[in-house]
């Protein structure tokens, strides 16, 4: 067999191993080791794996992963999410379906200080859904809004998926963060328009009963007080990063420290809670870094086999062309999103797709934004839909059906697809800020 044949067999074998339930990181390491051993020999395979373990994890940049994860967890326990929702609820209560719009804007702001979609889904399912239900909104709409807007957590910087993409594509984390601003705002606007269209055209979908509940009055002083922690963290992290005062790792450290100070001042962080958050941060970090290690080995195995080079020539020499490849790539990612989680999709697909995108002359920053949005659609699509199941678990309501949340999220999937098409048609939405 030729190295190309061995590479293709390795890809197919990895898919089979994933389908039968093997952990993706272990599957990647196993097929990569076996393929390199067949292409060269066992000694080369062992040396390559040890070299990959050293090269892929020794970078200073990887310290950004636990720091941003810890910041997100500290923000979640500090009550900042509830304050954010309270502020936007007060400002938008007179707008039709104002609580839905408030949830989108609160999620957008919360995303700017967490970077994890699941954290957004957990927080706002407990804050926004009960409040919307109290004001006569349907269960389907309330949970759908939270599920849909939670994806902003991985688009608006800082974003864990952006960090993973930057590492795999060897791009600047700071530039990837900047590239997420425009598309993140576009998604927030698209979600808002979706809510308004539903409220005007399909009121039965949005409202289950009349709104006879009272709103908690919040004075201007209270709005300012509730906004200070949110704005302080945004200025500290994003201002320091984009102002050139901090690199991504330093910005993560500053953000984690700032979030810890807020949690301590609010007395929402005791010793036991802090230890639990540190353990959870460690678990998430180890999982992500192990997957990156496995993906790096997988990528080097594919490069040795020549699969990316052959696929590049096939895509670009035929009638498909760069945009035909891009269309097929998006379809593949959305389909995979129905089956496996976001980071795993990127780690499997990017080692194959990045050389093709580079050979096609596509901007890798723009390509990264498209990748993240496509992957995030998978958080809302059945049967996997991680955000949907997170909301179901967080709500602890036996009468709430998973299918109802999926139906509520469908309009927001459509909004994401439209936004994705706009970004594909107009790349500067993603690239103009990153190029400054």
Q: What is the pLDDT of residues 321-373, one digit of tens each?
A: 788 888 888 988 888 877 777 777 888 888 888 888 888 888 899 999 999 99
* Whether pLDDT at 213 is above 80: no
Residues 6 or more apart whose CB falls under 8 angstroms from that of 235 comprise none
Question: 10 to each of 47, 160, 206, 317, how far by Cα in Å?
Answer: 19, 28, 48, 25
Q: For position 434, what pLDDT does the model report?
A: 64
Contact status, residue 370 vs residue 330, Cβ threshold 8 Å: yes
What is residue 190's predicted lDDT score, i.e. its pLDDT?
A: 93
**Nearest Cα residue to 161 out of 55, 71, 27, 64:** 64
pLDDT of residue 54: 75
Kindly give the interhelix angle for 342-359 and 307-317, rounded to the nearest 10 degrees: 60
The answer to whether the CB of 71 falls within 8 A of the CB of 259 is yes
- The pLDDT tens digits of the residues spanning 383-413 come to 777 778 778 877 767 777 888 888 888 999 9
Overall average pLDDT of the 240-257 stretch: 82
Is residue 172 helix, strand or coil? Answer: coil
Could you tell me if residue 217 is left (phi over 0), alpha (psi between -120 and 50 degrees) or otherwise beta? beta
What pLDDT shows up at residue 423?
94
Quick one: pLDDT at residue 422? Answer: 94
Residue carrying structure tokens 């600047």? 172
Residue 316 has pLDDT above 80, yes or no: no
Q: Which of 344, 343, 365 is nearest to 354 (CA)?
A: 365
pLDDT number for residue 371: 92
Q: Record the tokens describing residue 158, joined without a space.
A: 């800082």
C-alpha 172: how far from chain center: 17
> In this structure, what token pair is assigned to residue 69?
């994860």
Nearest to 363 by CA among 119, 130, 171: 171
Contact present, 62 and 173 (Cβ < 8 Å): no
Place of tokens 């190309």: 4
Give the side-chain half-sphere CA count within 13 A for 380.
27
More confident residue, 18 or 181: 181
Give buried/exposed letters for 236-255 (b at 16+ CB in 10 A, else e). bbbbbbbeeebbbbbbbbbb
* Per-residue tokens: 129: 């859904």
Q: Tell me if 413 sits within 8 A of 381, measured CB to CB.
A: yes
When mean pLDDT is compared over 86-90, 96-100, 185-189, 210-214, the highest value belongs to: 185-189
Mean pLDDT of 158-172: 84
Comparing 44-53, 56-65, 289-298, 323-332, the range with the smallest average pLDDT is 56-65
Residues 63-86 have a mean pLDDT of 79
Is the pLDDT reported for residue 55 higher than 80?
Answer: no
Q: What is the pLDDT of residue 233?
A: 83
What DSSP letter does each residue of 236-261 carry, written as one string?
A: IIIIHHHTTSS-HHHHHHHHHHHHHH
Look at residues 370, 384, 385 and name the one whose alpha carbon lies nearest to residue 417: 370
Place of tokens 């892929």: 56
* pTM assigned to the model: 0.81
The CA distances from residue 289 to 25, 325, 386, in Å, are 10, 29, 21
Alpha helices by DSSP H, listed for 266-363, are: 271-305, 307-317, 321-337, 342-359
From 53-57, 102-106, 165-169, 385-389, the region with the lowest mean pLDDT: 53-57
The residue among 317, 293, 297 whose CA lies nearest residue 305 is 297
Q: What is the mean pLDDT of the chain?
A: 82
Q: Outline where 1-153 has alpha helix (H).
A: 3-19, 24-39, 42-57, 64-78, 80-92, 98-111, 117-134, 139-150
């Amino acid at each position: 067999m030729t190295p190309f044949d061995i590479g293709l067999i390795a890809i197919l074998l990895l898919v089979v191993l994933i389908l039968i339930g093997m952990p993706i990181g272990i599957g990647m390491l196993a097929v990569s080791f076996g393929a390199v051993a067949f292409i060269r020999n066992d000694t080369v395979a062992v040396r390559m794996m040890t070299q990959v373990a050293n090269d892929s994890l020794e970078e200073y940049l990887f310290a950004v992963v636990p720091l941003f994860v810890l910041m997100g967890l500290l923000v979640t326990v500090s009550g900042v999410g509830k304050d954010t929702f309270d502020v936007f609820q007060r400002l938008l209560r007179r707008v039709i379906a104002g609580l839905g719009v408030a949830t989108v804007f609160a999620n957008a702001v919360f995303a700017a200080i967490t970077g994890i979609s699941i954290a957004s889904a957990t927080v706002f399912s407990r804050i926004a859904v009960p409040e919307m239900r109290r004001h006569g909104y349907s269960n389907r709409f309330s949970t759908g809004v939270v599920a849909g807007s939670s994806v902003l957590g991985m688009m608006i910087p800082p974003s864990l998926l952006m960090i993973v993409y930057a590492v795999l594509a060897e791009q600047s984390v700071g530039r990837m963060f900047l590239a997420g601003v425009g598309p993140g705002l576009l998604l927030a606007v698209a979600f808002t328009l979706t809510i308004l269209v539903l409220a005007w055209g399909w009121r039965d979908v949005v409202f289950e009963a009349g709104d006879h509940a009272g709103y908690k009055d919040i004075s201007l002083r209270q709005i300012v007080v509730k906004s200070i922690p949110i704005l302080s963290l945004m200025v500290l992290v994003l201002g320091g990063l984009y102002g050139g005062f901090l690199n991504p790792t330093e910005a993560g450290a500053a953000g984690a420290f700032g979030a810890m100070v807020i949690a301590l001042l609010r007395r929402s962080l005791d010793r036991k809670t802090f230890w639990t958050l540190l353990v959870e941060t460690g678990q998430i970090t180890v999982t992500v870094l192990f997957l990156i290690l496995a993906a790096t080995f997988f990528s080097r195995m594919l490069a040795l086999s020549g699969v990316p080079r052959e696929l590049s020539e096939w895509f670009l020499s035929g009638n498909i062309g760069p945009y035909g490849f891009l269309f097929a790539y998006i379809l593949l990612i959305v389909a995979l999103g129905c089956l496996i989680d976001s980071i795993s999709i990127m780690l499997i697909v990017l080692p194959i797709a990045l050389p093709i995108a580079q050979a096609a002359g596509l901007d890798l920053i723009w390509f990264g934004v498209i990748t993240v949005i496509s992957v995030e659609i998978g958080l809302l699509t059945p049967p996997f839909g991680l955000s949907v199941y997170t909301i179901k678990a967080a709500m602890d309501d036996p009468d709430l059906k998973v299918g109802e949340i999926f139906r509520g999220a469908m309009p927001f999937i459509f909004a994401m697809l439209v936004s994705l098409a706009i970004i594909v048609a107009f790349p500067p939405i993603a690239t103009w800020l990153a190029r400054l």
